[in-house]
Structures are given as structure tokens and as C-alpha cells.
Amino acid sequence: MRAARFGLVFLALTIVAVVLLLLIPEQITRGHLGLLMLGLIVVAILLGFPTAFTLMGLGMVFGFIAFHRPGQAFFSSPIFDQMVLRTFGVMTNDVVMSVPLFVFMGYVIERTSIIDRLFRSLHVTMGRIPGSLAVATVVTCTIFATATGIIGATVTLMGLLALPPMLRAGYDVKLASGVIAAGGCLGILIPPSVMLILYGATAQVSVVQLYAGALFPGLLLALLYILYVIGRAKLNPALAPRLPREESNVPMGQALKMLVGSFVPLAVLIVAVLGSIVGGVATPTEAAAVGAFGAIMLAAGYRRLDWARLKESVFLTARTTAMVCWLFVGSQLFSSTFALLGGQGILEGWVTALELSPIEFLILSQLVIFLLGWPLEWTEIIVIFVPIFLPLLGHFGIDPLFFGLLVALNLQAAFLSPPVAMAAFYLKGVAPPHVTLGQIFHGMMPFMAIQIVAMVLLYAFPQIGMWLPRVLYQ
Amino acid sequence: MNGYLLRIDRISAWTGKAFAWCIVGLTTVVCFDVVARYVFNAPTQWGGDASLMLYGTLFMMAGAYTLSRNGHVRGDVLYRFLPARVQAGLDLGLYLLFFVPGIAALAWFGVGFFWESWGFSEKSQISSSNIPIYPLKLVIPLAGAVLLLQGAAEIARCLICLRWGQWPQRLHDVEEIDIEELKADLDAEHRKERK
């Protein structure tokens, strides 16, 4: 219920802000209509209607008003043709085209049970490290993140695989659930991620460069998680007790064999896919298709390929792709109407009137995105709010690539910030009944703090993200 | 009544699942193109067009299937906690205000868009392969029509819920993770290890 109250407060605040904004100017121009539309989208999304159609609907309604000329017949409004044209634009967008292929690859790999072998062999080989189960969880998530860009699945899967052994070994519930939720979300940051494809398509930034740029910040975040877990386990061993003898008593040779069997084939596939993209050999679409083919071969190799599983992966791919792409259709109509009304000009006027330094602007924009991440999801932020900041980047001399990396890191927090922390709900869905949502939220907080640390690090040392794209493409 | 709604769900799902296989086609076409380009150094002319068409058809035709499974992402911070009748009322209003205009535009104005292209048998501008582009444009009104049908079913569901105070049943479908299967797998592995 706390979440509902939070939602109501946010809703009320947005409405108050919109009303105030419309009262201040002496004359309501078309631009203000655009701002009204922007305020209404937040309200409308919170009403819980599917976001894709909310964007489409507001785009249609305001577009109709924008195009309206006195005496014009209803159905001759150009907005109807706009709707068709924008849809066709998404259908022929060769950047978004790689989304279904990466999604397909992810679902096929997820159904091979590789992640399950990987986790078990890792935690046996890492038995001597403090908090070994939690460390193995982060490492498994990181490796899995380089093979898939799906989020919900990883958290659910790790919740089933890693949570029961951690609880059995006497781990602190908060630490155990926090590490799964945080680790599971790495998939959206570490390439190949669907989020970066959408950002690239929205911001006209090369997805290849985004992938190259996001690799090290993603690994840095994973490393920080691991250091945090080891640190906590060292300081207070009661939080993450060592494994009992009989569980860690698997002969090293056998454990290594398991690790090689689960890791090497997957690693070859990942290196081939990511390497060919980042190395500039293949386009993301080409690499994704080869990756999907490789995933099917891998599934066949593990004897996990059958008609039923293939069918499931195909159907799930269709649903996830439709979800992402229809959202993009809606956002295209929305942003074209916003541009038509000219709301962007007013916003730019405000921001330039603030006379911010580039650093202040960067902090302000990231703060806005961070706050929006509490009630909204990453998809909505990327397709609605990022386009608003983008035209301002040139004014402050900020590289859209660097901005994209900061946003990607920032949105990691959107998954962990209550009340819409998707990760928490996925985990709650598969956790034993005595693990409460409150414990999960509580456990995620330190990881959110780590994400902020990672953002500060990336900001202070932009080379973490920018080094690889610069070396490769300049 | 619910029988009709489930029948519409099945039509949407059947369409979406049929076109879902485009992903296999897409994978194959792009892989073929990759081999032709990098191994035989003879890239195909039609690869780019064919893959875009498969991708566009895939996501457009799966829209109604996704809607029938309640699979389009929602901002449900508040929504989740609302009583079913309030949810239904909100949804009903917004289906009429937001969903119907845009989707009806696709279904109706999409026909004109296709018709014009068909009229002069328009060729794709993406590559120089001269593949006709109008089949892809035909997908727009088709997808619009199926979505409109599914939308009608959703609107009927809102009305039923407003009347009876609870949401009617939906069909069960593939989940992201088959939790039961995974649990069975894990148990089997455990038993094997203990032996």
C-alpha cells in the first residue's frame, strides 16, 4: 500500500506542476500545449494503461489539435497519415531490427540450462572466497548478461537457482536477495542490451560504439558488487557463512571439468558475437543473427533442443519484440507531435536561462532521470524523456555517447528503486514465502548506493567508458 | 460471452504465433547473408530487404497476441492496487480515447497507404534489388485489423468487469521461465549428485 500512496503523491505533484506551469505564462502558445502533453504523459502512464498505446493516444489527440484548421473535415486531418507513416518508419528501422534477434538468442540460451551448470560449477570452484555463493551469483549474472539482454528472466532464474542454496547456507536474507536483484539487472547494461539499441535508435548514436562504451562500466559495476559482497562477508562472517564441508568437498578436478564444460562453449559464442560487433567486423544485426544461430547449436550440443523449447522461445520472442517495438511506434508518434507543437523550444529556453555549467546540467539531468526511475520503467524513460535532453547536449558540449552510458548506468537504479523495482517483484515471485518484499527492497539499497558510486566514478574518469570506443573508432 | 472473448484471443494468438516464426526466417536470412558476404565475398542484394520485411511483419503481427496476453508494459505503481472495477473503468475510457483512434488509423488509413503503393507496384528503396515493397505496407492494415478486434475483446472485458466486479479468465500461455520445469530439472540433478 505504501507504493500506492507514493504513486498518488507523485500523481498529485505532477498535476500541480502542470497546472502551475500553465498558469505562469500570460499567453498559452502551442509550445505550452506541448509541455501540457509532456506532463500528461506522466499522469497517463501512472493510470496503468499499456504505455505503448498511451503514447500513441496522446500523440494522436494532441496531433489532431496541432494540425487542426478551422473548417477542416475530421478525417482529413494529417495526423492519421502521420500515424501510418511513423509506424512504417519503425518497421523499416534497421537499428531496431536487431532487437528480436538478440531477444531470440537470449531466450534460446536461457532454455539450455547453461546458467544452472555455470552457477553450480562457479560456486564450487570459488568455495574458499568469503561469501562465495553471493560472489558466484554476481559472476554468473555477469557472464549471462553478456549473452542476453533480457532482465526479468535472469532475476527469476537466479532467484530459483541461487536463493535456496544461499538461504540453506545461512546467508542473510537481505544480502542474498539484494545480490540476486542487482546482479540480475546487469543484463540491461552489459552488451548486448536491448536498452542500448533503443537509446541508439532514439539518439542516433551508433549502437556499436554504445556497446563498446558500456562494456567496461558494466564490468566495473559487477566488480564493485563483488568487492562489496566480499567486504561484508569478511567483516561479518555471520552474514555469509562458509559452505559446510560436504557441500564444498567436490574434488577440484571434477569442479574444473564442470566449469570448462559450462563456460567455454558459452564464452566462445559471446566472444564471437560481442567481438565481431565491437571490432567493427559485423553490424549488431549480423552478429545477433549469428549469435541466435550459435545459441541453437549450443542448445543442440547440450541436448536441450527440442520442438517444444524452440516453439516457446519463438513465441516469447514475438511477444517481447512486439512489446518493445510497439512502444517505439507509440513514442515516435508522440515525439513527432511534441516537435510539431514546439514544446522543446520552451524547455530549451528555460534550461539556457538557468545558465548552468555543463557539469551542473549533467548532474541535473541525471538526477531527473534517477527520480523518474522510481515511478517509471526504463523503457518509458528512454523513449520519452531522453529525447528531451538530447537537443540540449550540443549546447553544453556533451558527447551523446557519454550521456548514453551515464543514462544506462543510471537506469540500473530504476530496476532497484521501489516501488516499481521490477527486479524485486520478479524475485518475490520465486522466493520462499518467508522472504518479504520489504526484506528484498531493504537488501537492494546498498546496491543502489554502489550504482551511484559507479556513476560518480564514470563521471570522474570518463575513460572507463570512452577509452574503448575511442581506441577502436578514431 | 467469455467464449467469444477467448475465441478472439485464440485468433490473435494464432496470428501472432504464425508470424512469430518470422524470427527463424530472419535468423536464417541474415546468417545466409553473412556467409555470402564474409565467406564468399558475394553479398546478396535481397538480404537487407528480406530481413527488414521479416522483422517488420514479426512485431506488427504479434501486437494483438501480446495484447491478448496482457503483455504490453504498463506503469502499474497505482493500477495494481486499485479495485478491479476502477481498473476496468480506467481501461475502458483509455481504450476508447487512446487505443481506438491510433489503431483504427492504422487499419483504415493503412489501406490507402498500401493501395497507393500497389497502384504503381512500388519497389523497395532499401537496396537495388527491386523487391516490391507493397507486401510490407499491407501488413499495416492487417495488423491494425487484428489489433482492433483484440481491442474490442479487451473493451468487452472491461464492461464485464464493471458489471460483475472481477476480471474474466484469460488463456494460459508460455511464461518467460517455466518454473515447474526448472524445479523438476534441479531436483533431478540433485538426486543424480547424491548417488
| A window 413-452, beta carbon within 8 A of B | 419-420, 430
Q: From A381, which residue of chain B is nearest by alpha-carbon distance?
A: B75
Return the pLDDT at A146.
83
Alpha helices in A146-250, H assignment, sequence order: 152-161, 163-168, 173-184, 194-203, 207-235, 245-248
Q: Is A417 left (phi over 0), alpha (psi -120 to 50) or beta?
A: beta
Residue, of B59 and B5, whose pLDDT is higher: B59
Return the pLDDT at A159.
87
Cα dihedral A471, A270, A128, A119 sign: positive
- Cα distance from B90 to chain A (closest Cα, Å)? 7
C-alpha cell at B185: 530439472
Residue, of A24 and A140, whose pLDDT is higher: A140
Query: What proportion of chain A, given as a percentage, has pLDDT over 70?
Result: 93
Residue, of B154 and A376, whose pLDDT is higher: B154
pLDDT class for A454, splitting at 50, 70, 90?
very high
All residues of chain B having their beta carbon less than 8 Å from the beta carbon of residue A321 are: 23, 58-59, 62
For residue A471, count other CB atoms closer than 10 A to its CB: 9
All residues of chain A having their beta carbon less than 8 Å from the beta carbon of residue B55 are: 91, 96-97, 100
Choose among A437, A364, A377: nearest CA to A406.
A364
- Cα distance from B4 to chain A (closest Cα, Å)? 23
Q: Do B30 and A286 touch (CB under 8 A)?
A: yes
What is this model's ipTM? Answer: 0.90
Return the pLDDT at B189.
62
Cα dihedral A372, A377, A382, A388 sign: negative
pLDDT class for B119, splitting at 50, 70, 90?
confident
Contact of A333 with chain B, judged by CB distance below 8 Å, is answered with: yes
Q: From A81, which residue of chain B is nearest by alpha-carbon distance?
A: B109
Return the pLDDT at A23.
66
- Among A34-38, A68-72, A77-81, B83-87, the minimum mean pLDDT is found in A68-72
Summarised one tens digit per residue, pLDDT across range A162-213 is: 898 899 888 999 999 999 999 988 888 888 888 898 899 888 888 889 999 9
Q: Do A289 and B106 touch (CB under 8 A)?
A: no
pLDDT class for B178, splitting at 50, 70, 90?
low
The answer to whether residue A112 scores a pLDDT higher than 90 is no
Tell me what the mean pLDDT of segment B93-106 comes to: 91
Residue, of B145 and B116, whose pLDDT is higher: B145
**CA dist A211 to A100, A150, A205, Å?**
17, 16, 11
Per DSSP, the residues of A143-170 read: HHHTT---SHHHHHHHHHHTHHHHHHTT
Residue, of A188 and A148, whose pLDDT is higher: A188
The 3 state secondary structure assigned to B25-50 is HHHHHHHHHHHHHHHCCCCCCCHHHH
**Mean pLDDT score of chain A, rounded to an integer?**
84
Summarised one tens digit per residue, pLDDT across range A333-374 is: 998 888 888 878 888 888 888 888 888 888 888 888 888 887
Choose among A285, A277, A95: nearest CA to A204.
A95
Query: What proportion of chain A, given as a percentage, has pLDDT over 90?
Result: 19
Q: Is B127 left (phi over 0), alpha (psi -120 to 50) or beta?
A: beta
Summarised one tens digit per residue, pLDDT across range A6-45 is: 667 777 777 777 677 666 666 667 777 888 888 888 888 8
Return the pLDDT at A450.
94
C-alpha cell at A93: 528501422
Task: For residues B55 and B61, give the distance between their C-alpha atoms in angstroms, rounded to a whole number.
Answer: 10
Choose among B68, B43, B34, B52: nearest CA to B171.
B68
Under a CB-based contact definition with an 8 Å cutoff, are residues B74 and A48 in contact? yes
pLDDT class for A447, splitting at 50, 70, 90?
very high
Tell me what the mean pLDDT of segment A82-104 comes to: 89
Q: Do B106 and A51 touch (CB under 8 A)?
A: no
Using DSSP, state whether B132 is helix, strand or coil: strand
Return the pLDDT at A27.
64
C-alpha cell at A227: 568487492
Closest in B66, B99, B185 to A323, CB measured:
B66
All residues of chain B having their beta carbon less than 8 Å from the beta carbon of residue A377 are: 73, 75
Choose among A307, A304, A292, A315: nearest CA to A113.
A304
Task: For residues A365 and A257, give the distance between their C-alpha atoms in angstroms, rounded to a whole number.
Answer: 49
Task: For residues A447 and A445, give the distance between their C-alpha atoms in angstroms, rounded to a whole number.
Answer: 5
The phi, psi pair for A251, rounded to 5°, reads -55, 140
Return the pLDDT at B145.
93
Indicate the DSSP class of residue A50.
B
Contact of A51 with chain B, judged by CB distance below 8 Å, is answered with: yes
Closest in B27, B90, B99 to A48, CB measured:
B90
Give the pTM: 0.88
Q: Which residue has the cell 572466497?
A: A129
The answer to whether residue A108 scores a pLDDT higher than 80 is yes
